A and B are shown apart, each in its own frame.
Chain A
Amino acid sequence: MPDQIVVGSDAKGDCRVVVSPGKASAVEVVTGDPHLFERGIREVVGQTLAALAPEGKIKAAVAVTDQGALDYVISARVEAAVRTAFPTVAAIAPNVRRRPSASDAPRRSRLYAPGNSPRILVGIELHGADLVLVDLEDSVPPAEKSAARVLVKHLLAAIDFPNEVWVRINPLTLGGADDVREVLLARPHGVALPKAESRDDVAALAKELAKAEMAAGARIGSTWSMPILETGKGVLHAEEIAAADPRVALVAFGAEDFTRDVGARRTPDALLFARSMIVAAAKAADVQASDTVYGNVDDEAGLAAESKLARDLGFDGKGAIHPAQVPVLHEAFTPSEREMEEARAIVAAAEEAEARGVGAIAIGGKMVDRPVLERARRALKLADRLAGRGKT
């Protein structure tokens, strides 16, 4: 047994928890202002320890050095440290009630947030993103993976996300299965699978999700999945991936890894094939398509241009790496007032045609095709779903 387990950090908004197994059970708290904070922190630590060992005391000294961490961060750090020190201790299963989301919920923006950084996670639900995607993969260094998945679980349990919250796990063979088991205890709307390359990858995720849903007491099939296509193979298999499993609600494109994988430079032309392939595959499977992130946070005009391109290609949304990008995405992927007027006119004409028992729909003497009517209906539905969402 190691002398000491250290979890967390001295970064702002975080805390460092040191668990010393074998020592007499005691809790030590160091905080900027003990008068204000010590009692509350002790309460959180005490409750977390009780939840971890309902039968009796954990025989270990626990020391918390606080840097302004919220309660859920402290709980997460304590749980991760205790479970590392005592691998037989079971994970805390929080009681979470999450509003289910529709498979075609608006997903104009999927906002990435690093799952190991309490400071950046604070208030991540407040920026109006349609989908917050908390990341356990690329933004989390290997040594922090296990603590991060516990932190993400506590984040999901503590925070009421106004729209969707998803988790990007690691590839299943690289800790992704553990990620699923842990975070599903806090009922994310969905799980994103990086570097998906085949129908089998999606099926393997579905199997893990089903196991975890069962363990968490959730309905089987209640968690959406999002394969991220970011390799040559993944893009070529887009069709089978998008259609692999009813859990798939959208497929996303990851251009950074894709360009590296195929040896391309990141230009609109170089990405055109992959983008079009993904959109076509998604629409063939009747799921949504979400474009890759735009890496330069300070270049709003560049983001707007790339978002417009993605919208023109048929994408339903796009990734964001900073909350400031969210409004730009929403602008690009929300039907404009003119599009809405057109859509309303088309749907009205269709209803009228139906009422009169006429097969063909015409506006101002011009025939309207079925696919155009479908697109109009989708635009109105999206607008309807967005009506409840405030300005971002």
Chain B
Amino acid sequence: MRNALGREVPDKIGSRKVEPYAGAFAVRRTGWKAPRPQKSCVPGENKVLPSIEAAIEATGLQSGMTISFHHSFREGDRVINQVVDACARMGLKDLRLCPTALFGTHAKLVDHIKAGVVSRIEGSMNGPVGDFISQGGKLKEPATLRSHGGRWRAIESGDMQIDVAFIAASQADAYGNANGINGRTPCGPITFCMVDAQHAGKTVVVTNDLAPYPAYPLEIQQGWTDYVVVVDEVGDPEQIASGTLELTKSPARLRIARLAADAVVASPYFKDGLSFQGGAGGVSLAATMYLAEAMEKAKIVGGFVMGGGTRIMVDMLHKGLVRTILDGQAFDPIAVASLGKDPAHVIMNPGLYANADSRGCATYMLDAAFLGATEVDLDFNVNVNTHSDGRLLHGIGGHQDVAAGAKMTVITVPSIRGRLPVILDRVTTVTTPGEVIDVIVTERGLAVNPKRDDLKGALVAAGLPVRDIAEIKEEADRLVRPLGKPVFGDEVLAAIEWRDGTVIDVVRKVERWQ
């Protein structure tokens, strides 16, 4: 069947019935959310177990069940590999993995998939695992990719049931209160897994630093935690910032950042109380910096800035350029340190920031947001998941949630990467619909969504190089001969869920090339 964007999606994916995407805000759910197994407690119970193996045993984890993880240690995570290795040693098979994101450090999961230890993936399937599946590696069922808010929603609603959640914590007490702010190896908030901890069949906190009761801040709470395991290493905080915090030196990228910041400055939202999403990656960081400069010059005090927290945001807070940082994950050690110290640097969770099936999202309070893309198209649709060769290499992250919420969503992309034009007639995969995208900024100028003539007027009046998106595309296309085009077969590798649980697109396997 075809969804509201005209994308062909199957009626069923694996064992589940597909609800087609109907529009960014078309689905309004009612009814009751999923319950969690009841459990009582009495004084004097011991939750501490000596090893991950002991926890696997105690939780009753069996072949075919679902385990979940968070990604707050990013490239430095040591827990996912430890747990899945232990499962393999104990002879478990056919596990369903439900991580919030995967990184290069998890490349060995590929071996576990080959060996049948892991057979299904929900949540995020990026990096080496995504590449492996794209190149013909087999899962038992197509993967399901969800945004930060979408994952929270799916767990809360019961669409995705987790049997055992393994939660890495840089500090925990023996009773199961845990956080990522303190301890020997702090990684920043671990709130992505709050929903796992509250809804999983069993919740296991894995820490390398057992603190006296109560460990705080109370990100993960004793009332949700079944077991606490102490290991030598949960993660390396040095590797949190890998790749995301290089300030770009490229003139073209700096120009994109400058234009993106200028667009916000020219918009009606540039006034006291301006709230925006920064984010990691060279261009977003530079755009945030340029915007901060403009705010300082115009003596504007922003409202809140939304993370991934970075040193640039912390700097803005200290200068009084924003009142608050709302931070769901930390992208560098300075942001991690600030979280523990500054009360205006507030820990946020994806339920609070992004869950469409809730009574409020922080992203809906955003004025502006800077987001990236692997591809965009003439309808302003955005792809962040696949490359133009069809390979599935990235998760959704908060892209959908932020774009849906912000009053002015700015996509920053080069018009061409090497020989690869970035603006297409039609994106390979839709992650985020053009309906919620307002401006696309390239080094060749800005394109404003025709739905936003008001914004276009403001940008033109400010003298910004506003152009037709087709014109920018043609200019970039002229630099290279046309690319080979993948022809996709019927086999579905992954479903891309819109944040409300409908399917906005699917990733199919490349059958041949033309």
B-contacting residues of A (Cβ < 8 Å)?
12-13, 31-33, 35-41, 43-44, 66-72, 120, 122-124, 126-127, 158, 322-324, 390-391
Contacts and interface: CB of A to CB of B under 8 A. Distances in A.
8 contacts: A39-B481, A41-B419, A44-B481, A68-B420, A323-B254, A391-B262, A391-B462, A391-B463
A283 to B, nearest CB: 31
A390 B480 contact: no
B257 to A, nearest CB: 11
Contacts of B443: 123, 126
A84 to B, nearest CB: 25
B481 A43 contact: yes
Given A35-B389, A38-B484, A127-B255, A13 B465 contact: no
B51 to A, nearest CB: 44
A41 B480 CA distance: 9
A71 B255 contact: no
Contacts, number: 76
Contacts of A32: 418
Interface residues of B, number: 26
Contacts of A126: 252, 255, 443-444
Contacts of B300: none
B251 A323 contact: yes
Nearest to B388: A36
Given A12-B418, A123-B252, A126-B255, A71 B463 contact: no
Given A35-B513, A40-B482, A391-B464, A123 B419 contact: no
B267 to A, nearest CB: 15
Contacts of B34: none
A40 B251 contact: no
A329 B443 CA distance: 20
A33 B485 CA distance: 12
Interface in B131-164: none
A32 B481 CA distance: 16
Contacts of B444: 123, 126
A390 B481 contact: no
Given A390-B465, A391-B463, A71 B388 contact: no
B479 interface: yes
A67 B418 contact: yes
Contacts of A127: 251, 255
Given A123-B443, A158-B479, A391-B464, A36 B389 contact: yes
Interface string B419-433: 110000000000000
Given A35-B486, A39-B481, A158-B479, 8 more contacts: A35-B484, A66-B419, A70-B480, A71-B480, A323-B254, A324-B251, A390-B463, A390-B465
Nearest to A33: B389
A32 B388 CA distance: 13
Given A322-B251, A390-B465, A391-B462, A70 B486 contact: no
B417 interface: yes
A123 B484 CA distance: 24
